[in-house]
Amino acid sequence: MYAIIDIETTGGKYNEEGITEIAIYKFDGHEIVDQFISLVNPERDIQPFVVNLTGITSKMLVNAPKFYEVAKRIVEITEDCIIVAHNAQFDYRILRTEFKRLEYDYKRKTLCTVELSKQLIPDMDSYSLGKLVRALGIPLSGRHRASGDAQATLKLFKLLLSKDSEKIIIQEKIRAEPKFQIEPKLKDIIDEAPTTTGVYYMHKIDGEIIYIGKSNNIKKRINQHFTGTTAKSKKMQLMVTAVTYENTGSELVALLKESEEVKLKKPIFNRALRRSIFTHALYSFKDDNGYINLKIDKADGRKQSITTFSNKQSAKSFMFKIIQDYQLCQKLTGLYPTKSNCFNYSIKECEGACILEEEVESYNKRVSQVIAKHSYDSQNMVIIDKGRGLDERSAILIENGVFKGFGFYNLNYQINNIDILESIITPMENNRDAQHIIQSYLRRNKRLKIVQLN
């Protein structure tokens, strides 16, 4: 659990500042579960430059609660939380100073979004909150007011969580929360799991990831793991002490993350997924008569394929469908070996390419349409899919036929501006498995929105 905090102060000498406004958003890694926002009477003067910066005046704070009146609420809302702030050292120091005046020893673990941003989003021109979120296309209103800055920090932190491929933040969270130091009952883990689409991580007591999976309903899938009776399920049940998860909203993003994370982390119970996830591919070649032939064959990394398939049966099903949709020849797609005409020609569903009756140019045009539709080679495009909330969408970026990564956005201009789009994208490896996942998903989901980039 995290407490996203922003504090406005009076300014002045070091450790003599007073709080004028505080905003706290309690965040479970996926959504806000509690919040506290309040002006605070600092019982001291506000520096003139701070008044100009924040717009908060002494007159506004006359009837505001004093710190000791809100101290209990701050303790309660941040209990068992890691404090997250932009320049966390400052906000945490101010809080500790105020509590020290009340003779209360306030201690929490902290995460700094400045430090995390420098690590996870390197080479930005500036890491000040205002300039950083603007460069990333994150909406910011109420700058230099606690609530506005805290909301911007929360959105930035969500982006950092999605970019945290090394699980720096999650590993810290595992070690920080006392309940993960002892083995909780499996039922408690199931009860806390969400019903959303995403990727989940099973951890041992020291935080090590032992299994990574994806599901359209994480709670249901975890329940299956914990009620399974196979040898693998029983071993996992004995070892797991915590399950963390990352909500993706999009099944495509979840599939891509699962594939990459398994290869990167190599969890002990994910051995099968470390290998390639496709076995067959679609290839093309021109025959002696100039016709473009299509052929299903075992996947060969040395040859350029149009698209790939998980197994031979799905490949054959795909071929039958495109023959019907594009009136292709069964013989020239390898599904009807013959020295004469194919069966479809007999029932007038083939134009006769099999016996050289159809013009080469006419037949090849339809085959080229199939190739263009099912291969994103050399294309520049963004695949738009569901996001983690109603006001959010996911974006999968393809540049010059190369999968670059994914990101989440709220505003359409973030997609149409390539510089902002690239800054919100979490980079991922462009390997053959990722290409297979994307192509397979596009085949199964006809209504996906695709934005072509110039």
HEC letters along 286-344 = ECCCCCEEEEEEECCCCCCCCEEECCHHHHHHHHHHHHHHHCCCCHHHCCCCCCCCCHH
**Percentage of the chain surpassing pLDDT 90?**
38
| Residue 399 pLDDT exceeds 60 | yes
Phi first, then psi: give them for residue 97, nearest 5 degrees: -65, -45
Distance (Å) of CA 153 to CA 2, 25, 159, 216: 12, 10, 10, 28
Q: Please report the pLDDT score of residue 141 as a whole number.
A: 82
Kindly state the average pLDDT of the residues 429-442: 87
pLDDT in tens, 281-325: 899 999 999 999 999 998 887 788 888 888 888 888 899 989 988
- Confidence tier at 362 by pLDDT (50, 70, 90): very high
Q: Please report the pLDDT score of residue 411 as a whole number.
A: 74
Q: Please report the pLDDT score of residue 221 as a whole number.
A: 92
Run of H or E including 156: helix 146-163
Least confident interval from 9-13, 170-174, 261-265, 387-391: 170-174
pLDDT in tens, 178-210: 333 334 568 888 888 899 999 999 998 888 899
Average model confidence (pLDDT) for the chain?
A: 86
Least confident interval from 85-89, 173-177, 210-214: 173-177
| Residue 443 pLDDT exceeds 60 | yes
Q: Please report the pLDDT score of residue 177 as a whole number.
A: 42
The structure tokens listed for 383 are: 């695949």
Q: Please report the pLDDT score of residue 289 as a whole number.
A: 93
Q: Please report the pLDDT score of residue 184 as a whole number.
A: 53
pLDDT in tens, 118-127: 888 888 888 8
The per-residue DSSP string of 113-136 comes to HHHHHHHHSTT-S--SHHHHHHHT
Kindly state the average pLDDT of the residues 200-223: 91
| Residue 174 pLDDT exceeds 60 | no
Kindly state the average pLDDT of the residues 261-282: 79
pLDDT in tens, 20-50: 999 999 998 888 999 999 999 998 889 888 8
The structure tokens listed for 429 are: 């490896």
The per-residue DSSP string of 353-421 comes to GGGT-S-HHHHHHHHHHHHHHH--TT--EEEEEE-SSTT-EEEEEEETTEEEEEEEESSTHHHH-HHHH
Q: Please report the pLDDT score of residue 153 as a whole number.
A: 92
- Confidence tier at 452 by pLDDT (50, 70, 90): confident
Q: Please report the pLDDT score of residue 178 as a whole number.
A: 38
Structure-derived torsion over alpha carbons of residues 347, 350, 353, 359, reported in degrees to the nearest 10:
120
β-strand pairing of 82-85 with 109-112: parallel
- Confidence tier at 395 by pLDDT (50, 70, 90): very high
Q: Give, as one character, the DSSP assignment of residue 41.
A: B
The structure tokens listed for 231 are: 């040898």
Which one is predicted more confidently, 173 or 182? 173
Kindly state the average pLDDT of the residues 340-355: 91
- Confidence tier at 273 by pLDDT (50, 70, 90): low
Run of H or E including 99: helix 88-101
Distance (Å) of CA 248 to CA 79, 214, 391: 27, 10, 13
Run of H or E including 449: strand 449-452
Say which residues have a Cβ less than 8 Å from residue 379's Cβ, sequence separation at least 6: 398, 400, 401, 452
pLDDT in tens, 51-107: 888 889 988 998 999 999 999 999 999 998 999 999 888 899 999 999 998 988 898
On whether the pTM is more than 0.75, the answer is no
Q: Please report the pLDDT score of residue 176 as a whole number.
A: 47
Under 8 Å between Cβ of 23 and 95: no
The structure tokens listed for 7 are: 């504090």
Q: Please report the pLDDT score of residue 209 as a whole number.
A: 92
Structure-derived torsion over alpha carbons of residues 93, 99, 105, 109, reported in degrees to the nearest 10:
-40
Q: Please report the pLDDT score of residue 182 as a whole number.
A: 30
Residue identified by tokens 């099973």 is 202
First-last CA distance in the chain: 42
